[in-house]
Amino acid sequence: MSVLPDTKDLTDEQSATLEKAALLIINARREAGEMLRRAEIQRFDDDFFGSRCRKCGNCREFVGNDDVCRRSACRHNASQHAT
C-alpha cells in the first residue's frame, strides 16, 4: 500500500491535481476490469484492479466521477481510493 503525501501541505491547486490524477488511475482500473469481464475471465476478484478506500477500508471501489466517493458510507477522496 502506498503512502499518501501529507495533503495538508498541498496548495489547493496541487490537491485538485492530485484528485484528478487519482481519477485517471481509477478510470484506467475500471477499463481494465471491464476488459477482463468482456473476455469472461473469471476468477479475478473485483479487488484485483480494485480501488479500495484507504481511509475506511470497506469501500471496494470509488463510486462516481467527482472528487469524493458517492458511497454514503465512504465519501472519501479519489486519491484515497487510488491505492
Report the residue from 30, 68, 71, 83 that binds Zn ion according to the rule CB under 5 A. 71
Window 26-65: residues binding Zn ion (CB under 5 A): 53, 55-56, 59
Locate 22 and state its grid cell: 487519482
78 binds Zn ion (CB under 5 A): no
The total of other beta-carbon atoms located within 10 Å of residue 7's CB is 13
Among 22, 74, 78, 82, binds Zn ion (CB under 5 A): 74
3-state class (DSSP) for residue 16: helix
Distance CA 3, CA 6 (A): 9
Binding site for Zn ion (CB under 5 A): 53, 55-56, 59, 69, 71, 74, 76
